[in-house]
Chains A and B, each alone.
Chain A
Amino acid sequence: MNEDDQPLDPAESLRLIERERSATARRIIPDPRLLLWPWGIAWLIGFTVYFLRFGPDGHVTVDMPAWLPLVVLLVLIFIAGTITGFVGGRAARQVSGPTSRQGKMYGWTWGLAFSGMITVLSRISELLPTAQATLLWTGTLTALTGALHMAGGAIWNDRTMFRLGAWLSVVNVAGVILGPGWHALVVAVAGGGGMLVAGLVSWLRLPHVADGERARR
């Protein structure tokens, strides 16, 4: 019988259980900050650049080439997507079963839903003036993002994710009513900001983080 086989006293057992459970959770649950902050930053910067170039009533706050805002936004979205894909893929390689299957299906849902949206909008948007075309793209993008977050909240019974989705959906409608230009500002600040807040809240609610905070107090 080696040391590993030695029985423990009850208090030691409980401490060991807690320690091992939180060590494992830390390693297998993807950090929500890594999943949400890249998107929050992408929206915050990307749509702010849009607002600065395509403001309300065609106002140009910062003079830059008309193609630049879209390129900036796409690059930021590409970076955010790569980070999310990497984090999600790493989680899927560690744990197999229902959890990773759900994650994969949800990932495919985003991919296919956005492909559908892009296909439809690119056939229509060229017929519209720039301001309306921009509103069509950003308004639909935000509506779809809001709906997918709400659905994700329903799938994982995750209130923070659901609230983020509902918030994006409501803010989007408000922005669209305010009109072209304002919509980009609203989505940048309230939408991107909402993602940053949701990432922080989800992180603080992780069992191992919450337990750690309690232990420090």
Chain B
Amino acid sequence: MTDDAVPELDPVIHAQARLRVVSSLSTLREGDSIAFPRLQDILRMTPGNLSVHLRKLEDAGYVEVTKTHQGRTPATLVSLTRRGRLAFEDYTTAVRALLNGGAGSQEQS
């Protein structure tokens, strides 16, 4: 296997915490968003920690964070953008390729 056949892994997603965030958001249907506290609860992250990673994902255009009101209470909604969904799909494809293609060569090295 030559070096250029090894797929590049998206560094924005390829970090444990952000991969968890993106995987979780990928279960939502396109156009749906989840409330911030709910996401935090599912991922078992502190609000500060989650905010930091959401900011990085937002900067990459993968995630959209919307501040809105549900009745009178302010709510922060998080969703995966189309670009984020594509990036996640590319990432999963790349990881699978690495795993299948790399199984033999890893043993040799």
Q: Which of B24, B29, B42, B98 contacts A99 (CB 8 A)?
A: B29
Nearest chain B residue, comparing its CB with the CB of A16: B19
Main secondary structure, interface of A, reads: helix
Verify if B1 is at the interface (C-beta below 8 Å from A): no
| Contacting pair A21 B24 (CB below 8 A) | yes
Stretch at the interface among A4-12, A40-48, A50-58: A4-12
Verify if B87 is at the interface (C-beta below 8 Å from A): no
Q: With A4-B49, A14-B96, A27-B42 given, is the CB distance from A96 to B32 under 8 Å?
A: yes
Verify if A93 is at the interface (C-beta below 8 Å from B): yes
Tell me which residues from 18 to 33 in chain B have a Cβ below 8 Å from any Cβ of chain A: 18-20, 23-24, 26-29, 31-33
| Contacting pair A16 B35 (CB below 8 A) | no
Chain A residues within 8 Å of B26, by CB: 21
| Contacting pair A13 B14 (CB below 8 A) | yes
Chain A residues within 8 Å of B16, by CB: 3-8, 16
Tell me which residues from 32 to 90 in chain B have a Cβ below 8 Å from any Cβ of chain A: 32-35, 38, 41-43, 49, 53, 70, 77, 79
Number of contact residues on B: which range applies? 35 or more
| Contacting pair B23 A95 (CB below 8 A) | no
Verify if A28 is at the interface (C-beta below 8 Å from B): yes
| Contacting pair B17 A97 (CB below 8 A) | no
Number of interface residues of A (CB under 8 A): 27
Chain A residues within 8 Å of B42, by CB: 23-24, 27-28
Q: Can you name 27 A-B residue pairings with CB atoms under 8 Å?
A: A3-B16, A4-B16, A4-B18, A4-B49, A5-B16, A6-B16, A10-B95, A13-B95, A14-B99, A16-B16, A16-B19, A20-B20, A21-B27, A24-B23, A94-B35, A95-B35, A95-B38, A96-B77, A97-B29, A97-B31, A97-B33, A97-B79, A98-B29, A98-B31, A98-B32, A99-B29, A99-B32
Given contacts A3-B16, A21-B26, A28-B42, 17 further A-B contacts (CB under 8 A): A5-B17, A6-B16, A11-B99, A14-B96, A14-B99, A16-B23, A20-B43, A27-B41, A94-B34, A94-B38, A95-B33, A96-B70, A96-B77, A97-B79, A98-B29, A98-B32, A99-B32
Q: B residues within 8 Å of A by Cβ?
A: 9, 11, 14-20, 23-24, 26-29, 31-35, 38, 41-43, 49, 53, 70, 77, 79, 92, 95-96, 98-99, 102
